[in-house]
Structure 1
Amino acid sequence: MKSHFRFTNYSSYFLVVEIQSIILFMGLSALAVVTKYQSPINAYRLFKITPIFFLIIWIIESNNFQNDFYTKTILVGLCFSVMGDFLLLYPSQFKSGLFSFLIGHVWYILGFISTGWKFPFLPTSLILILSIGMILKIYPNVGKLRIPVLIYISIIACMGISALGRLEAFQSTPSMLGALGATLFMISDGVLGWNKFKKPFPLAEAIILTTYYLGQWMIALSTLY
């Protein structure tokens, strides 16, 4: 009875900590969106990278990740994402930021396929159609970035397919979270590409940041179950 009581208390404490962590992450993400529109650039630069830093610390504190290859790959991917976030704050570093995110996606792919995988036919078909459509729409406007953009779209499509293939294989909570996160990440990058190279629109940044942070949060959360 005593040990059951201790276990219950520990579980309740863990749940409270997780809820507090989620609220804090959502608050930091909201500040990034708000400062993008209403604050000096330095405030936005701070809050843009803070949420992903928080996710990295959250995973390290919540996991015994030393022997977990999947968690390690997600952590490395998040580290490259932080680097990409920082570099993209400076327009002259766009290619470097793109490359950092590309490497991050490669690490996510390694994680998603590391525990097993099954080819997701319908999702793959849809992702390929949307990716080709995006390339055809924005390609005339990307100038010297044609090859980097083509490679990046191909890699993020592979990242989405790998996450959905993991879901196809396992139908588990972690695989579902990873797949949802990857899907939101693809949506974020799709809107970013459209806004930058095709047709800018006022709510683009809010959509890009919201889907990006939610996507990264779900991918991070997939390591905790």
Structure 2
Amino acid sequence: MKKKNILWLYLFLLASTLDIFFVANGQSDQRFFTKPLIIPFLLAYFFFSTAQLKGVLLRKTMIAALVFSWMGDTLLMFPKLFLYGLGAFLMAHICYIVAFKVSQQQPFKVGRVNFIRLFFLNFPIYLFAAFVYFYIRGGLGEMKIPVIAYLIIIVMMATTARERFKNTNVISFWQVMIGASFFLVSDGILAINMFYQSFTESGVLVMGTYVIAQFLIVRGILAHIQYGHTT
């Protein structure tokens, strides 16, 4: 990873900080200039840091995930386009699922599966998703089916991140796992604010956890590329 690519991270940090500042101060109009820039800067960092992997599936799926995330960010700025923004992020998570799957040792190896053990390993993720759904279910209305579909996909994204344990290096696993967890938290806060009870701190919490999530996922995948399956 060339050091000059760090410039894109600084720009990502600047755009993210400004956007969160505008959220905290209720300056919605200024966010039209900051929010659409957050993911493109992170995408540029990943794109140039993986130039040597041109044509590789992992690179393609990560780029696609970031592009869909950017689309989701942009669409969600317009309340009437919420469903389209939700769809864009659903596609982003599907791309992340594929990326997390291929960024591990022997990703498609078929073996004996202990479903009881698997359930308990993933139980904290299931519990969080059930907790969020319990609170928002009464306010979903016509959005019930799209939100449930989205919830299932993001749970799959998080469980696929957990699946990488001991199938990649420690740095990559924890960065991706923590990033996926922050994504769950970010979307959970957004859902509770929209469909259960709004609260003033939600905007800052949603964007703060979201920015951390995207950053850690990108850094974690880059760590897998750089160090591979090492301890």
Instruction: Tell me the distance in 1 between the aligned counterparts of 2:121 and 2:67.
Output: 28
Give me the whole-angstrom Cα distance separating, in 1, the residues matched to 2:95 and 2:173. 16
Question: 1:80 aligned to 2:80?
Answer: no
For 1:184 and 1:99, the matched residues in 2 are separated by 19
Q: Does 1:95 align with 2:93?
A: no
- Number of positions where the alignment pairs a residue of Structure 1 with one of Structure 2: 212
Q: Does 1:50 align with 2:48?
A: no
Q: Which has the higher helix share?
A: 1
Letter in 1 for 2:66: L
Unaligned runs of 5+ in 1: 1-10
Whole-angstrom CA distance in 2 between matches of 1:39 and 1:200: 15
Change (3 A) 1:221 1:196: same
> What does residue 143 of structure 1 align with?
141
State the distance in 2 between where 1:123 and 1:205 align: 31
Amino acid aligned to 2:176? G
Contact (CA 8 Å) 2:76, 2:85: kept in 1 or not? yes
Change (3 A) 1:74 1:85: same
1:132-173 CA distance string (max 9 Å, x none) = 222121011011000001011111011001011113533432
Higher alpha-carbon Rg: 1
Structure 2 spans left out of the alignment, 5+ residues: 108-112, 224-231
* Distance in structure 2 (CA, Å) of the matches to 1:190 and 1:200: 12
Single out whichever of 127-136 and 147-156 deviates more from structure 2. 127-136
Measured in 2, the distance between the counterparts of 1:190 and 1:123 equals 20
**CA deviation string 1:98-125 (max 9, x = no partner):** 0000011000001111234598554411
1:60 alignment partner, one of 47, 51, 72: 47
Identity %: 27
Judge conservation of contact 2:53–2:59 (CA < 8 Å) in 1.
yes
Once structures 1 and 2 are overlaid, which stretch shifts more, 44-53 or 67-76? 67-76
Q: TM-score, normalised by structure 2?
A: 0.84
What is the identity, as a one-letter code, of the residue corresponding to 2:57?
A: F
AA at the equivalent of 2:9: I
State the secondary structure of the residue aligned to 2:123.
helix
- Give yes or no for contact 2:103–2:168 (8 Å, CA) kept in 1: no
